[in-house]
Structure 1
Amino acid sequence: MTEQETPPSTPWLRKLVIPGLIGGVAGFTASFALMRFIDSETVGGLDTSATVAALVGALYLLAAFSILVGTANPGLGARFLNVEDADELREQKRVLLYSGGAMLLWGIALLALALAAPDGPLPQGVALVLGGGGLVLGTAFSVLVYRGSDELMLAVNLEASALTYGLVLLVVGFWAMLAHLGYVTGPQPLDLLTTFYVLVLVASFVVIGRRGMLAIR
């Protein structure tokens, strides 16, 4: 009598390839729709700084949507988020909701500033409220994430913060130095804000990657 063989597990297909394809399609669709909107008569086009800021803001919104949907429905979230199972999402529900909320607010803030007048269709007063409110409330949510994190995530947050500081000093500092010496054009205010947004993501991925948290689970 032969033992029944079980098919080999393919977590890389379920947790990497399929979510990657879905994320790629969603990201491309969102970027395409945003660029069409920017080039439409409603907006009439934006300069490079505002366009890049809008795309980064949309990236934050897409990430926030994934986190919030996956947390609200752990059974579904376990299929595309890199977690052990749905129970892990249930255990971390409060922290993940705060994290998703922070990214949502930060994304709205940057997108609003990118679409602000005089180049964009959004009145400056409205952009100020959305931008300032999003930054402040998003930061408040991040404080709640910090307070609700376990020992491992506290260490990750601290390492990511320290690395972000170093990257900001290196990238923005070097950019400012070259601009001061006349080699390049100095950054616009929106360029600085967008750079901060991007470097936070870069630092976070580096830290969680070093701790092995990007491994397929």
Structure 2
Amino acid sequence: MMTENESSPATPWLRKLVIPMLIGGVAGFAASFGMMRFIDSDAVGGLGASPTIAALVGVLYVVIALGILFGTVNPGLGARFLNVEDADELREQRQMLLYSGAAMLLWGAALLALALAAPDGPLPQSIALVIGAGGLVIGSLLSVIVYRISDELMLMVNLEAGALTYGLVLLVVGMWAMLGHLGFVAGPQPLDLLTAFYVLVLVASVIVIGRRGMLTIK
């Protein structure tokens, strides 16, 4: 029989996988739904496929970043939905997670600004350029700081994710460009390339942390 201090083997999965997935799914759906409503509103008047997809990817980055930042600022609560051993682990990684979350937030804001830029969107191009370039540059500088303060495991994860991202970009974007060049499909637009890079970075990161066993429920 289980004692009062023991929990069912299914409890970690429920607490660290099912519940966070539900929360993340609801947050992602709400943010995406809100963005689609905004895009279809009179303030925007609709966007093309490329800016719409870019805006949704930007929103995804913002949602992920806010989850990381919120969980890091409040370790006691963050330990309940982030895949860590306990609140102390979040406190130990506080600096790295804060910089990582801030970088993702800036990158998400940058892509959102570019997606909503004129002439299709309501944001003047000069402002979109400042937000887009500023977000990309400052976010990248923060990622350099993250790289420098990472422990050996996270350093290897970053290096492997970077290498895998390069391979995925070469394969996916390269194939798309090839087919576009030969006239089989429409070639990628500049915003398509940026969005593809954003998505492939996430895909590569998930693959690498999965291979490293960092997706195992703690």
Q: Which range, TM-score by smaller chain?
A: over 0.9
Question: Kindly tell me: are residues 175 and 75 of structure 1, through their superposed partners in 2, closer, same or farther at Cα, counting changes over 3 Å?
Answer: same
Partner of 1:157: 158
Superposed CA offset, 1:12-55 (max 9, x none): 00001111111111111111110000000000000000000000
- In 2, distance between residues paired with 1:182 and 1:4? 67
Superposed CA offset, 1:125-144 (max 9, x none): 00000000000000000000
- In 1, distance between residues paired with 2:15 and 2:7? 14
Deviation at 1:8, TM superposition (A): 1.9
- In 2, distance between residues paired with 1:7 and 1:30? 34
Question: Kindly tell me: are residues 211 and 98 of structure 1, through their superposed partners in 2, closer, same or farther at Cα, counting changes over 3 Å?
Answer: same
Partner of 2:8: 8
Question: Secondary structure of 1:190's match?
Answer: helix
- In 2, distance between residues paired with 1:141 and 1:104? 11
Partner of 1:39: 40
Gaps spanning 5+ residues in structure 1: where?
none
Matched, 1:120 2:117: no
Specify the code of the residue in structure 1 equivalent to 2:92: E
Partner of 2:53: 52
Q: Percent identity?
A: 76
Partner of 1:204: 205
- In 2, distance between residues paired with 1:177 and 1:202? 22
Matched, 1:106 2:94: no
- In 2, distance between residues paired with 1:11 and 1:143? 34
Question: Secondary structure of 2:68's match?
Answer: helix
Question: Secondary structure of 1:172's match?
Answer: helix
Task: Give 4+ residue runs of structure 1 displaced > 6 Å after superposition.
Answer: none
- In 1, distance between residues paired with 2:143 and 2:191? 22
TM (normalized to structure 1)? 0.97
Deviation at 1:7, TM superposition (A): 4.0
- In 1, distance between residues paired with 2:152 and 2:215? 18
Specify the code of the residue in structure 2 equivalent to 1:69: F
Matched, 1:64 2:65: yes
- In 1, distance between residues paired with 2:113 and 2:43? 15
Superposed CA offset, 1:85-120 (max 9, x none): 000000000000000000000000000000000000
- In 2, distance between residues paired with 1:21 and 1:153? 27
Question: Secondary structure of 2:8's match?
Answer: coil
